[in-house]
Structure formats: C-alpha cells, structure tokens
Amino acid sequence: MEKILSGKPVAKAIYQELKEKVAILYDKGIIPKLCVFKVGSDPASEYYVQSIQKRAKKIGVFVDVVTYEDLAPQEELIDGIRKANKDPKIHGIMLQMPLPDQCDQNEIVLHIDPLKDIDGLHPVNAGKLILGQKCFVPCTPSAVMELLHYYKIPTEGARVVIIGRSTIVGLPLFNLLVQKKTGANATVTLCHSRSKNIHEISKEADILIVAIGKPKFVDHTYISSRSVVIDIGINEIYDTDAKTNIFVGDVFYQDVFSTVQAVTPVPGGIGVITTASLLKNVVEASRG
C-alpha cells in the first residue's frame, strides 16, 4: 500500500470510465446534464462549482448553474427546483451549500426529485442508503469508498473509526461501511464532539476517517503504526511562515505522517475524488 493515498489516480480512473459511458449515451442521443442551484457568491462555493464545470466539460457532461441573490426568498429557489424536476433534459440536480440564513435546507431538499438528487440529500435516498438499496450516495462518502476500493484497503472485519456525525459525511459513511457486502462488512465506531476517550478509541482503528471540520484536529496522539488515515476536512487558515492563506485538513498531516501506515493528503486527496463521484452520479442518473 502506498504511504500517500493520493486522490488523483482514483479520480483519473473514474473519469476514464465516465468518458466511455458518456460516449454511449451520446450515441443514443442523450446528453447528461446537471443543474446546480446556488444562492449568493460564497468564494469557496464559486471555486467548487467552477471545478465541477471544468471537469464535466472534459467528459461531455453539461452543467447549468442557476444563481440567486443572497437575499432571494426560499420559495424562489424551490420554484426553480420544481422546474428542473419537470425538465426531461436535466438529469441531475445539485443544491450548493452553504445556503443563507433565510433558507431551510431540510425543507428545500424535499422538493428535489429523488431520481435527480445526485447529492443523495433527499430522505428517500437517505432511507434507501440505510436499507442497503440502490440509491444516490452523497459524493464525499462515495469518494471514500472509491479510494478504499482503488488502493485495495481491506474493510471486512476491520475496525473503522469515524470522527464526525454530519448527515452528508459521517452518518452515510457509517451506513455504507457496515453493510453486508464486498468493500464493507466493517466494525464501525462513530465519534463526535460529545464522545469520551476519542484518543483511545481512534488509536484502536485500522481505518481512521476524520470529518470534524477543525484544522489539524487529529495529531499523533490519535493514531498508531497500523492506522490508515482518511482526511475529509479542508480548512483555510493563515500560515504565519508563508504569510498567506493555505488549505489544511482535519488531520495534522506532518505530525502523523511518520507514524501511520498510510494517509490522504490535503489538498489532493478525497476532495479530488468527490467531484468525480458527483459526476458519476450525474451520468448514472442520465442512464435512467
């Protein structure tokens, strides 16, 4: 197993597969199309959406971005989603986060057609995921599963510890990894901000997945020499040495690197695969 679990070769393999599937769809007269709904001009959101557009163009997926003003009423956004639901040329709908305060994410998500919900946010998809049924899996958890598969990291019977219980990362990952199927069958512990003895629990992990949203939260005191560490976090901080802003993960990479068996970098790790996983869902949606 490689020491540095780069996301780039994983994403490259996914994109190659998607190019072939898109070519078949084009022969059938189907052009995969994603509609992204975005409210406001958050810089991080802008960057992510541009990244999606850039990658999508390379594989032949069309991306339409619908942007609303910061103070746009929630009903205006819902109306746009309803129109996209009815448009047969739109195969996938994505709601870009974060949303402004006047928008209730849980309410808005209910209006997305589950068959076009490529981010796996709708309760129908969330429920199917828990039951182990075919559905759209949230893109970041899907990216983690793609990485585990690509690097042939064994999960059956493995002790997995997830730090972070968000509905878009921690909880879906828990449900994916405990399922009775190849590439899962793990023994999973889910830790969060109220968990006790996280250090001790984390040290017992064969695979430690960190998605807590705190820069450099996990250091060498959380890991052991057998740890495979997957860092999902991406945080922008000010580097006093470089005198500029840099991106770091939830794991203190330099502090754990010499000890762990393997670790994902930030940037260049899970984030790279997440975009590929999103577009994979779009292509699957367009196939019907």
- The pLDDT score that the predictor gives to residue 43 is 78
Structure tokens belonging to residue 21: 């599937």
| pLDDT higher than threshold 80 for residue 1 | no
**What average pLDDT does this structure show over 260-285?**
97
- Residue 78 belongs to some domain of the structure: yes
Does residue 159 sit in the same domain as residue 189?
yes
Closest CA to 276 of 97, 20, 2, 8: 8
Does residue 151 sit in the same domain as residue 106?
no
- The pLDDT score that the predictor gives to residue 124 is 97
pLDDT tens sequence across 11-51? 999 999 999 999 999 999 999 999 999 998 877 788 889 99
Does residue 145 sit in the same domain as residue 110?
no
Domains: count for the chain: 2
Rounded CA-CA distance 233/248 in Å is 8
The last residue of one of the domains, among 57, 87, 118, is 118
The CATH number given to whatever domain includes residue 218 is 3.40.50.720
- The pLDDT score that the predictor gives to residue 57 is 97
pLDDT tens sequence across 50-89? 999 999 999 999 999 999 998 899 999 999 999 999 999 9
Does residue 163 sit in the same domain as residue 108?
no
Q: Which has more pLDDT, 27 or 239? A: 27
Does residue 101 sit in the same domain as residue 143?
no
Structure tokens belonging to residue 226: 């057998």
The CATH number given to whatever domain includes residue 84 is 3.40.50.10860
| pLDDT higher than threshold 80 for residue 113 | yes
Worst-scoring range by mean pLDDT, 21-25, 41-45, 252-256, 273-277? 41-45
- Phi, psi (5° rounding) for residue 54? -65, -45
- Phi, psi (5° rounding) for residue 146? -65, -40
| pLDDT higher than threshold 90 for residue 238 | no
- Residue 128 belongs to some domain of the structure: no
- The pLDDT score that the predictor gives to residue 260 is 97
- Residue 8 belongs to some domain of the structure: no
- Residue 228 belongs to some domain of the structure: yes
- Residue 133 belongs to some domain of the structure: no
- The pLDDT score that the predictor gives to residue 276 is 97
Rounded CA-CA distance 192/269 in Å is 22
Does residue 152 sit in the same domain as residue 113?
no
| pLDDT higher than threshold 80 for residue 5 | yes
pLDDT tens sequence across 131-190? 999 999 999 999 999 999 999 999 999 999 999 999 999 999 999 999 999 999 999 999
Does residue 106 sit in the same domain as residue 160?
no
Domain that holds residue 49: 29-118
- The pLDDT score that the predictor gives to residue 4 is 98
Does residue 113 sit in the same domain as residue 179?
no
Say if CB 9 and CB 268 are below 8 A apart. Answer: no
- The pLDDT score that the predictor gives to residue 243 is 83
Does residue 259 sit in the same domain as residue 171?
yes
- Long-range contacts of the stretch 190-198 (C-beta < 8 A, 24+): 190/162, 190/165, 191/161, 191/162, 191/163, 191/164, 191/165, 192/163, 192/164, 192/165, 198/163, 198/222
